[in-house]
Structure 1
């Protein structure tokens, strides 16, 4: 696997040999002092270009980066359309394990470049065309203390959607049930747990994309429950996951509400829990009816 120094020299060398590239910058986790360093970190590279179309029309210059294992070009995707305006990205995982996310950025996109990623450092700018960027900071991604309204919306969404999970289980629609449980209910649980972290250790921190640093902030028992509730390997396990998810959400939400001085809708929670347990206790008769 090529070293970081080798990759950086290669990134600059390719740019220097392309007349369409006027400057090079590095963004992303490598510019974030809080992000752990490992061999899986991407090289998030920006080429400021004066002629993007020429680089797209003739792409042989990409071969200089080495043999590619797999790549994506989001701006050319029909199923997953990109959202970067006039920018164009080559996402490249190479056979040696290195990965470069290379963005071709026209001058017109410079004003929004920093808005998308505050971690950016100019590496090469012979024409001095790059703006002065502030020091990299993860403040944009810090935890946000919820308002009463945001807290209530989180709780309402969680308890409302758990009834969809119950419905799916009663109908034996396990894909429907687990999709709502995992992508909505447990997502709101992670949001609630992130607020617990903010209340406990402060708001001026980031838990990373998809809450990837959250588990480091939680106690051993909470982490055990978090992963136990992702066991969807059987009908019974999905029910148990729902019950455990509700139990943990209720516990954390109550504690957060008390610390924040917010109202918590105990009446609705009690009714939804009763609704869940009513149908859970009737699951044998439900299964029997479905098989008849």
Structure 2
């Protein structure tokens, strides 16, 4: 397996050979002093170049071969002409390489995890030492709080309807994607408040284990479930317990309102739907 110095040398060699590539910037976990270190960390690299619409890397992809044997490569092209190659190699090296217009170089100031590796034009960007200040959990506005805390009860009604209809793919879509996303927001804010809003929990809460209380973390993980309807009913009920456990004290800490009436009404409604026979014509059965 190649080490970091070898991989960066390969990337810089490619950049130095091409006059169109004027600046190389690395960002992401490899420049984050607070990120866990392991051999699978991605290399997030931006090539800033002139004549962006005229470069050959998107049409002739033989250049990828110099980086090793591929497992899979994902490519994405954007409206501004930039593109990204997400490349996984057999020795476990993963490189996400973006090609961007040099005219957008000022965007590096928007990402505190930016480190210049090559500057052919002496731009002297004067970036601060990489830090994760751009990724700290932000205290929610009252509006954002209201949106997600009510969403956590609103979605339970929607999920209950789909479970009663035996439309499991839609129920799982609502629960796994939308409900769990709002729950992650709630847990992020819980952690943020506990750490004085100076904490980064990682994408989709991937570092929750480092910052959540162990019992809360285990309770959160236990809410993930399969496609069995009865299991999903149980997890929906348990999820409500976690929302209440975190939401009530957090609302008080933030100085916002907790939707106690919605919680009570939704809990009663969901339980009524759960008891309905499949051939019911109304909530009365």
Identify whether the pair has TM-score above 0.5, normalized to the shorter chain. yes
Matched with 1:67 is 69
Corresponding residue number in structure 1 for 2:225: 231
User: What secondary structure sits across from 2:56 in the alignment?
Assistant: helix
Q: How does 1:200-279 map to 2 (within 5 A)?
A: 200-279=194-273
Q: 1:22 to 1:4 in 2, by over 3 A?
A: same
What is the count of residue pairs matched by the alignment? 279
Which residue of 2 is the match for residue 86 of structure 1? 81
Structure 2 residue 161 is the aligned partner of structure 1 residue 167: yes
Q: Deviations over 1:183-238 (max 9, x none)?
A: 11222111111111122222111111111111222233222222221112411101
Q: Distance in 1 between matches of 2:247 and 2:273?
A: 24
**Is the CA contact (8 Å cut-off) linking 1:20 and 1:55 kept in structure 2?**
no
Q: TM-score, normalised by structure 1?
A: 0.88
Q: CA deviation at 1:102?
A: 1.0
Q: What residue is the counterpart of 1:23 in the other structure?
A: 23
Mapped to 2, the partners of 1:237 and 1:287 lie a distance apart of 21
Structure 2 spans left out of the alignment, 5+ residues: none
Alignment of 1:129-168 (within 5 A): 129=123, 131-168=125-162
Relative to structure 1, is the Cα distance of residues 221 and 96 closer, same or farther in structure 2, using a 3 angstrom cutoff?
same
Check 1:30–1:174 CA distance in 2 against 1; reply closer, same or farther (3 A cut).
same
What do residues 267-291 of structure 1 show as CA deviations (whole Å, max 9, x unaligned)? 12111111111222x15x33899xx
CA-to-partner distance for each residue in 1:148-203, whole Å, 9 max, x for gaps? 33222211111111100010011011111121112112221111111111222221
Between Structure 1 and Structure 2, which shows a larger proportion of helix residues? 1
Match of 1:286 in 2: 278
TM-score after normalising by structure 2: 0.90
Cα distance in 1 for partners of 2:179, 2:82 equals 35
Gap change, CA 1:258 and 1:11, over 3 Å in 2: same
- Decide whether aligned partners of structure 1 residues 62 and 129 sit closer, same or farther in structure 2, where only a CA change above 3 A counts: farther
Partner residue of 2:107?
112
The 1:147/1:45 distance shift into structure 2, 3 A limit, reads: closer
The unaligned stretches of length 5 or more in structure 1 are: 76-81
* Range with greater deviation from structure 2 (63-72 or 31-40): 63-72
The corresponding residue for 2:46 is 46
Cα distance in 2 for residues equivalent to 1:112 and 1:86? 15
Residue 17 of structure 1: how far off its partner (Å): 1.9
Q: CA deviation at 1:132?
A: 2.9
Alpha-carbon distance in structure 1 between the residues aligned to 2:55 and 2:257: 59
Deviating beyond 4 angstroms after TM superposition, the runs of 4 or more aligned structure 1 residues are none
